[in-house]
């Protein structure tokens, strides 16, 4: 899911102005034929899925710079995929995708440092600069590909994870073969997108959360089953998908030591890159999928990203909210399959997950 902050600060501070990329015409026509063709792929994919056994998913740890990083993997042939979660989530948010995609891919899902069951070092104890930044996570992602995947990979990203994937592709373009962005975060709390008159208030509010006991009280109020369920019910269009299992998947890692400090650090992070800063710099193909019922990242704004040369298409996922991979895996899994198939070399390296 996106950050818990997506439902807290923006709820208090509704920003009506967004610096859109002005273009009277989008590169692609978002017609019903695109959705119909996509549903044809979905039907074929679901038939194949019903005829096969799901691959076993293994959970492992990776030592990165002295920190324990948790990841999951499945599959032993085909192109490598790395699944990147959003803020407040973890690799379990891809549980409906890993096994299915592993039928024809080597699939890895990583917990970014600070999230899930990866280590959560206290940012106040790590030097003078910021630690939980997109540069940190992008570096982690690229080194994961080098040390664990040992291959180039396609990045499949949701929400804030999309900014991580784009940043990683810009830093090391030789590693990423393509990026699929699912409801990428628009980063509406970024300093560049804050109305000038609201900036002092936002900065003061962030300092209050980060530097006083108010932040811990705020986190405790958010880190409960009831709050997590309510937040998920806002961002999922089909609320029947907000199960007890999903609530526990999101909540449990948030109760671990250090989770509060990471949470507060990130919601006070108004710098770093924006998607529109990174997309012009990306050399690999980018496909964007967007749940059209996302209340946090409106599709009307997301469509602006289709104007960048690196973006090959913009796919509307009908009646889906902010987390398509979990709410509508029957749409997302075949979308991943078709995107990777278009760009994977016929002589893709085959290797075994040890």
Tokens of residue 283, six digits: 């050399």
Mean pLDDT comparison of 42-56, 101-115, 262-276, highest-scoring range: 101-115
Residue 116 binned pLDDT confidence (cut-offs 50, 70, 90): very high
CA nearest to 87, candidates 229, 204, 185 = 185
Query: Alpha-carbon distance 341 to 335, whole Å?
Result: 10
What are the φ and ψ backbone dihedral angles of 308, each rounded to 5 degrees?
A: -80, 145
What pLDDT score does 128 carry?
Answer: 64
Mapping DSSP to helix (H, G, I), strand (E, B) and coil, where does residue 265 land? helix
Tokens of residue 30, six digits: 């978002």
Query: Alpha-carbon distance 13 to 34, whole Å?
Result: 36
Query: Alpha-carbon distance 294 to 215, whole Å?
Result: 27
* 9 has pLDDT over 60: no
Query: Alpha-carbon distance 8 to 343, whole Å?
Result: 39
Name the pTM for this structure: 0.82
Domains observed in the chain: 57-343 (3.40.50.1820)
What pLDDT score does 54 carry?
Answer: 64
Q: Which of 156-170, 203-217, 269-283 has the lowest mean pLDDT?
A: 203-217
The string of pLDDT tens digits covering residues 44-87 is 444 444 434 467 999 999 999 999 999 999 999 999 999 999 98
């Amino acid at each position: 899911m996106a950050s818990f902050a997506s439902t807290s600060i923006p709820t208090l501070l509704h920003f009506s102005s967004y610096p859109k990329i002005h273009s009277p015409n989008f590169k692609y026509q978002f017609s019903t034929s695109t959705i119909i063709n996509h549903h044809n792929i979905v039907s074929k994919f679901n038939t194949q899925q019903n005829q096969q056994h799901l691959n076993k998913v293994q959970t492992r740890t990776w030592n990165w710079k002295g920190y324990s990083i948790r990841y999951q993997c499945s599959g032993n042939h085909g192109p490598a995929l790395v699944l990147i979660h959003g803020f407040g989530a973890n690799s379990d948010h891809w549980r409906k995708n890993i096994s299915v995609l592993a039928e024809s891919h080597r699939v890895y899902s990583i917990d970014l440092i600070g999230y899930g069951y990866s280590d959560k070092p206290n940012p106040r104890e790590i030097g003078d600069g910021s630690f939980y930044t997109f540069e940190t996570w992008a570096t982690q992602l690229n080194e994961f590909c080098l040390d664990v995947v040992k291959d180039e990979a396609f990045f499949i990203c949701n929400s804030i994870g999309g900014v991580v994937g784009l940043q990683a592709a810009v830093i090391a373009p030789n590693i990423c073969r393509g990026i699929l962005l699912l409801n990428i975060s628009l980063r509406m709390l970024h300093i560049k997108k804050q109305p000038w008159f609201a900036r002092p208030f936002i900065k003061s509010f962030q300092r209050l959360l980060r530097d006083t006991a108010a932040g811990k009280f705020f986190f405790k109020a958010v880190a409960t089953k009831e709050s997590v369920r309510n937040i998920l019910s806002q961002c999922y269009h089909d609320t029947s998908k907000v199960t007890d299992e999903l609530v526990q998947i999101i909540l449990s890692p948030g109760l671990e030591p250090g989770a509060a400090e990471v949470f507060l650090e990130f919601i006070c992070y108004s710098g770093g890159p924006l998607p529109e800063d990174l997309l012009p710099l990306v050399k690999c193909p980018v496909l964007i999928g967007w749940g059209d019922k996302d209340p946090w990242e409106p599709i009307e704004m997301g469509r602006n990203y289709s104007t960048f040369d690196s973006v090959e298409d913009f796919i509307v996922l009908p009646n889906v909210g902010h987390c398509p991979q979990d709410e509508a895996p029957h749409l997302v899994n075949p979308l991943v399959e078709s995107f990777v198939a278009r760009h994977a070399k016929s002589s893709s390296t085959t290797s075994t997950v040890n």
